[in-house]
Amino acid sequence: MTNVQAPGPQTVGVLALQGDFREHREMLEAMGHRAIEIRKPAQLEGIDALIIPGGESTTIARLILSNGFQQPLRDFCASGKPTWGTCAGAILLAKEVDRLDRPGIETMAIRVRRNAFGRQVDSFEEEIAIEGIDGGPFRAVFIRAPVIERVDPPARAIARLEDGTVVAARQGNLLATSFHPELTRDPRLHAYFLTIGAPQGAAK
């Protein structure tokens, strides 16, 4: 259980330009929410929250630009509605990223290093404690994962590995995780995410 009561059924968008959007949609639907795969900017207008999934960050960044998503996504982040980037999504939310050859969404006051844990063969799982999540450790799945190298106010770290590496951060209604909660059967982080709505402009 999370230590904040999750809201009732929500309409949650999952950016579906590339990556593992299907797994997020299936998790949300299993929780009783309506999940919409977002492929056009106009679809952002009818949703309560948004997930930017893992995948190939350079490809998603290119598709965000070519499909006219950059400013609509920035506006959504500033709206106060819950917005969550997982793995590649965290890279795209960060204001600073190493070796990303085009701009992402750039709304969170974090610096992210891509592929920090190595290649696909270096993927791993680890039990971590996450601020705001009750019920014991969360099993985090890391696949070609980034690390959050720096967290500046108003963002704050909410989860670390044993060596102190930051793997999750929150800034008002914005959430970034280096790992893939959608690849587990544990809905606690998705439930927590839907509670982090903020007053308009709180993410700025």
Strands, E, within 24-78: which ranges? Answer: 34-38, 49-52
* Active-site residue (options: 23, 24, 33, 182): 182
For residue 108, give the nearest of 56, 57, 166, 169 by alpha carbon: 169
Say if residue 175 is exposed, middle or buried (CB neighbours under 10 Å; 0-12, 13-18, 19+). buried
Catalytic choice (24, 33, 180, 190)? 180
Supply the angle between the helices 57-66 and 70-78 in degrees, to the nearest 10.
Answer: 100
Environment class of 25 (CB within 10 Å of its CB; exposed 0-12, middle 13-18, buried 19+): buried
Active site residue 77: no
Query: Residue 172: which H helix or E strand, with range?
Result: none
Catalytic member of 77, 87, 126, 127: 87
> How many CB atoms lie under 10 A from the CB of residue 15?
26
Q: Is the dihedral of CA 29, 58, 17, 74 positive or negative?
A: positive
Q: Which residues are catalytic?
A: 87, 180, 182
